[in-house]
Amino acid sequence: MGWQKYNGEYLRSSIDDAVEKAIIRERQVGNKLKVYIGTDSQVKRNIVEMATVIVFLREHKGGFMFIQKERITRKMSIKERMLLEVQKSIEAAYQLCPLLDRYQVDLEVHADINTNPHFESNVALKEAMGYILGMGFVFKAKPESFASTNCANRIVQ
């Protein structure tokens, strides 16, 4: 369950080391970074495939990401699955927080939860928002949660 680059190559160092090297490399070439963390999951034949992403956006110059995939083989409700996604994102954010603070890199945590009450995932909105904000992170949900809704989603499709 290690971290990997978008091309599938597994990191040879810890995620902390990889993130720090990325920040230093990007700063040396004059790029300003912002980090977005999100998780998405899909249920396929009673297996939950989950992907957490750490997305780095360069101001006006594209971006890159690190990915962690996981498979869970137990049945869970939609609310439990949504809150597990949020937990995975918070774990990654919490781990990287001291590093991002040291280099003054802004962070947002994205939840793949719909703000529209007509969608199933909305059942977890209040708890997810409270969990993320309570941990001191900036929170975004659909339609503003591109890290989970687009980037992580692409991995579990």
Task: Give the pTM.
Answer: 0.96
Q: What is the mean pLDDT of residues 68-74?
A: 95
pLDDT score, position 104: 97
Instruction: Identify the pLDDT of residue 157.
Output: 84
The residue segments making up the domain with residue 52 are 3-156
Q: What is the mean pLDDT of residues 80-92?
A: 97
Segment 113-142 mean pLDDT: 95
Average pLDDT (103-128) is 95
Helices (H), 2-140: 15-28, 78-102, 125-134
How far is 149 from 76, CA to CA, in rounded Å?
20
Mean pLDDT of 16-38: 97
Query: CA nearest 109: which of 127, 121, 126, 91?
Result: 91
- The total domain count for the chain is 1
DSSP 61: S
